Amino acid sequence: MAFFFKSRPRTSSIDLPKQAREQISKLDGPSGPAKAEELAKTLGQIKLTLQGTQGASYLSLDVALRYLLTPAV
């Protein structure tokens, strides 16, 4: 009965920005639209982690993209 309570593996909140940066770098490739969809899901997960809501807010997505596109120090 323990299999009923197994949760699906989740990406840790620490890995989400790294995952988003990788997806941004792959947007120019041949599978760009599919990668854009994955990036949207990742940004949604980041927003859910930060704000606790899933609604689309252009301001928060803009801030997230600026953060992801800045070079790492």
- pLDDT tens digit at each of 73 positions of the chain: 555 666 655 667 778 889 999 988 888 888 888 888 888 889 888 888 887 766 655 556 666 777 777 776 5
Model pTM?
0.57
CB 24 within 8 A of CB 69: yes
61 neighbors 48 (Cβ within 8 angstroms): no
Structure tokens at 8: 């699906």
